[in-house]
Amino acid sequence: MPAKRTAMPPTAASIASYVERNAAHVKQTQQHRHHAADSLREATYQGHHIVVRTHYEIEVDGRSLIGHMGVTNDGHVHYHPVPNMSFASAIDLVKELINIFPDDFTKKTSRRKRGARRKK
Amino acid sequence: MTVTRSNVLINSVARERYVRGVTLLKAEFTGPTTADLGIAGPSRPVSTYDLFVVWHHTAMSTMTPPTQDDRNAAHRGPVFCPWHRFMLYQLELNFQRVLDDDTFGLPYWDWAADGQQSAARQRRSALWNARTLGGSGNPVRTGPFRYNAGDPTSFRVRIDADVNGQLVQRDRGLRRSLGSQIATLPRKSDTAGTLGLTPYDTEPWSTSSAGFRNRLEGWAPPAAPALHNRVHVWVGGDMLPSSSPNDPVFYLNHCNVDRIWEAWLDRNGRRYLPLQSASVSLRGHRINDHMSSLISASMRPSDVLDMRSIYVYDSLAV
């Protein structure tokens, strides 16, 4: 059975027109702020209904991370700005975020040990 | 006309036309601006290529339904295969337009063939040499997508997603880190192992599901990240965030993913789940639901189940 409907060949004008039509939804997703992540996991076991609620608030250097985060039933955490990975723990997740988004985390220089003298 | 999608490492003409098409779409501005799309900073025109980046990011920022945090409008659920097929189809039409060549078919990267090699040889695949896509770098400095700060026409990442999942403006080179996060690509036994998996998808229609879709996407065992997800992680750099279409290899990956789905359909029948009679909580994933769109009219999974009158693959030996 061939494709039920093929797409109209695009033009520069059609692209601009559709983007204008759909731009409101793009803007709406840009407004998403998730200062906390609340996950709800449910399972049924031997007739018993299990509910696990998890609340995450993540900060790095005192600054909140506000991307959308979730926890799946196997306990792995995932973060929507990194869509192809899941992590065994929230700490592992955040360590990886620091690697993946270098533009968003100022590189920290190592601090001299307390009491160490600067060489003259 | 039915076009043929071929192996990027075998068909040099398709490879060269693909690179040319990327360059043309990066240089085409049809009118939409960053301000139109709610992207902070000075308002700048957005290229057609970058509109695909925005589209992909927006789809995966759309939870389906909003009351849960796993499934979204392009990933982690049944619509993964048809939505990316829809995206590739739109890209191919735009390539045909800017190349003035309605015989052009998107090439694919048979990454499982590379995955048969040693880890070291995978990083040295012909795909990553200067005549093809270029290699690792921060920024990438080889190949047609190399960065040259002094040349405003050299390839640049203009829009990406930041750590908070917001689209932001950039002016930097492409980033790749082949084989750093994970040492090896999927193997032929992994891709072949998907073809006998049925059904296409099943409850809970998420990253916990059994069935073909979740295995191909890469959430199911063995050893997640697997298959599609594994390729993203193996390439690294700009292939990791939700703005991953910034790297032109994104489409070569997804063309292969689509090829695997086509091989599955060919073997198991043009069947899709969930049906339209499924719960409204699966809106966006059912066979006749409209899929997330940005630059064109929407399509439904049913519209893209059989594309053989539009394109075929040179081989379904996945």
Give yes or no for B297 touching A (CB within 8 A).
yes
What is the per-residue pLDDT across A22-40, written as a single tens digit (0 to 9) for each? 999 999 988 876 667 788 8
pLDDT digits (tens, 9 = 90+) for A51-63: 998 888 999 999 9
The reported pLDDT for the residue numbered A110 is 55
Nearest to A25 among B58, B94, B167 (CB): B58
In a domain, B68, yes or no: yes
Average pLDDT over residues B53-72: 91
Round to whole Å and give the CA distance between A90 and B213: 26
How far is residue B69's CA from residue A68's CA, in Å, rounded to a whole number? 8
Query: Which range (A105-114, B113-122, B248-257) has the least confidence?
Result: A105-114
Q: Please report whether residue B50 resides in a domain.
A: yes
Mean pLDDT of chain B: 96
C-alpha torsion sign, points B205, B209, B211, B214: positive
Residue B313 lies in a domain: no
How confident is residue A5, by pLDDT bands cut at 50, 70 and 90? low
Q: Are B78 and B278 in contact (CB under 8 A)?
A: no
The per-residue pLDDT for B214 is 97
CA dihedral (B56, B49, B239, B264) positive or negative: positive
> Does B151 reside within a domain?
yes
Q: Is B87 on the interface with A (CB under 8 A)?
A: no
Assigned domain for B158 exists: yes
Whether residue B177 has pLDDT greater than 90: yes
- Give the type of residue at B11: N
d(CA B261, CA B203): 19
Nearest to A16 by CA among B63, B190, B45: B45
**What is the reported pLDDT for A68?**
82
d(CA A34, nearest CA chain B) in Å: 9
Which among B60, B163, B295 is the nearest to A18, CB-wise? Answer: B295
For strands B311-313 and B3-5, give the pairing.
parallel
Q: Is B67 on the interface with A (CB under 8 A)?
A: no
Position B309 in a domain: no
* Per-residue burial over B181-219, b = 16 or more CB atoms within 10 Å of its CB, e = otherwise: bbebbbbeebbeebbebbebbbeebbbbbebbbbbbbbb
Q: Which of B166, B229, B306 sits opposite A30 (nearest CB)?
A: B166
Pairing label, strands B29-33, A48-56? unpaired
**A26 closest CB neighbour out of B38, B90, B93:** B38
Query: Average of pLDDT values for B48-59?
Result: 98
Q: What is the pLDDT of residues B197-219, one digit of tens each?
A: 999 999 999 998 999 999 999 99
pLDDT at A111: 55
Cβ within 8 Å, pair B296-A15: yes
Query: Cβ contact (<8 Å) for A10 and B296?
Result: yes
- Do the Cβ atoms of B303 and A5 come within 8 Å? yes
The band of B222, judged by pLDDT with boundaries at 50, 70 and 90, is low
Measured at the alpha carbon of residue B310, what is the angle toward residues B259 and B10, in degrees to the nearest 5? Answer: 45
Above 90 in pLDDT, residue B173? yes
Mean pLDDT of B38-62: 97
**Is B133's pLDDT higher than 70?**
yes
Angle, helices B48-60/A12-30, rounded to nearest 10 degrees = 40
Neighboring chain B residues of A14 at a CB cutoff of 8 Å: 296
% chain A with pLDDT above 90 = 47
B288: in domain: yes
Assigned domain for B244 exists: yes
* Residue in B54, B165, B310 closest to A81 by CB: B165
d(CA B112, CA B195): 14
Cis peptide bond prior to B301, omega within 30° of 0: no
Q: Give chain B's domain count.
A: 1
Tokens of B256: 């292969």
Sign for the pseudo-dihedral over CA of A94, A96, A98, A103: negative
Question: How many beta-carbon pairs below 8 A join chains A and B?
Answer: 173
The residue whose two tokens read 């004008």 is A13
Residues 99-118 of B with CB under 8 A from A: none
Q: Domain containing B281 — which CATH number?
A: 1.10.1280.10
| Integer Cα distance of A18 and A14 in angstroms | 6
Q: Which domain holds residue B46?
A: 3-292
Q: What is the ipTM of this complex?
A: 0.94
Is residue B70 within 8 angstroms of chain A, CB to CB?
A: yes
Residue B156 has pLDDT above 80, yes or no: yes
Across the range B158-183, mean pLDDT stands at: 96
Q: Is B51 on the interface with A (CB under 8 A)?
A: yes
Closest CA to B128 of B216, B15, B17: B15
What does the pLDDT read at residue A116? Answer: 47
